[in-house]
């Protein structure tokens, strides 16, 4: 059976992720050139898994070579090419080693979570944005502009709003229009009021992690749809 490692960055040392792809036996690392030569030699077959370490492959590449997916090879594939392997789904195993690494969460990710009932606000995410004053202020600044945009498009056309906010009319406005249809002015105004209060509190006294956490939880309860 063929194994596919789904990654955006080439992995040169297979031993780094060997335990994650469920292989106990030794693995031989080879180049793309060596793989091509091996595949061309019809009688060549190895008892060990062989890992192509220096190149990504696509289904189209392997199909052109008449590659036999029953053979013991490990290839690296980019995520956007994985769907093309559906024709041989029964003959491959896919592994996502990068998913086990901690994933970076950005302010816009938290905003998406706040607006979505389907997305959970985990303790890990809350800690990420509420344990450090600088990170929390960056999030609040970003979120404040998102809410300002949402509120303004209730009253003005997109071009006017973009001019006021000094930005371009792009995907942000398409997203804002969709959110606007699910929200109301009162909730948006209340949310902006909550931002003003938490910013004032942080200015007048020292930063408090618990206040920051309560703010995030409360505003999600108000805006999620």
pLDDT digits (tens, 9 = 90+) for 110-161: 998 999 998 899 998 999 999 999 999 999 999 999 999 999 999 899 999 9
Task: Give the pLDDT confidence score for residue 4 in this predicted structure.
Answer: 94
> What is residue 102's predicted lDDT score, i.e. its pLDDT?
45
Pair type for strands 27-30 and 2-6: unpaired
Count CA atoms within 13 Å of residue 49 on its CB side.
20
Give the gyration radius of the chain's Cα atoms. Answer: 25
* Beta-sheet strands, E only, within 79-136: 92-95
Give per-residue pLDDT as tens, 29-78.
999 999 988 877 655 567 789 999 999 999 999 999 999 998 999 999 99
Domains for the chain: give ranges and CATH numbers.
Answer: 2-100 (no CATH), 107-223 (1.20.272)
Q: Measured between alpha carbons, how far is 110 from 122 in angstroms, rounded to an integer?
A: 10
pLDDT in tens, 195-214: 999 999 999 999 999 999 99
Q: Write the CA distances from 19 to 22, 77, 103, integer angstroms.
A: 6, 19, 20
How big is the CA angle at 183 (ends 179 and 188), to the nearest 5 degrees?
A: 105
Q: What is the pLDDT of residue 1?
A: 84
């Amino acid at each position: 059976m063929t194994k596919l490692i789904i990654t955006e960055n080439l992995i040169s040392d297979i031993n780094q992720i060997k335990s994650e792809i469920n292989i106990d036996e030794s693995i031989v690392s080879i180049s793309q050139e060596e793989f091509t030569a091996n595949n061309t030699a019809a009688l060549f077959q190895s008892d060990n898994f062989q890992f192509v370490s220096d190149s990504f492959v696509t289904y189209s590449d392997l199909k052109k070579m008449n590659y036999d997916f029953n053979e013991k090879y490990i290839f690296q594939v980019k995520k956007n090419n994985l769907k093309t392997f559906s024709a041989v789904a029964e003959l491959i195993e896919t592994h996502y080693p990068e998913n086990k690494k901690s994933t970076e969460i950005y302010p816009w990710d938290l905003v998406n979570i706040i607006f979505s009932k389907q997305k959970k606000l985990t303790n890990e995410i809350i800690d990420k944005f509420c344990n450090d004053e600088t990170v929390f202020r960056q999030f609040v600044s970003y979120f404040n502009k998102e809410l300002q945009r949402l509120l303004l498009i209730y009253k003005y056309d997109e071009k006017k709003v973009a001019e006021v906010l000094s930005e371009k009319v792009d995907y942000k406005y398409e997203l804002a229009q969709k959110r606007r249809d699910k929200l109301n002015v009162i909730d948006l105004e209340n949310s902006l009021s909550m931002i003003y209060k938490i910013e004032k509190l942080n200015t007048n006294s020292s930063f408090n992690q618990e206040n920051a956490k309560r703010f995030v939880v409360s505003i999600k309860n108000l805006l999620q749809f």
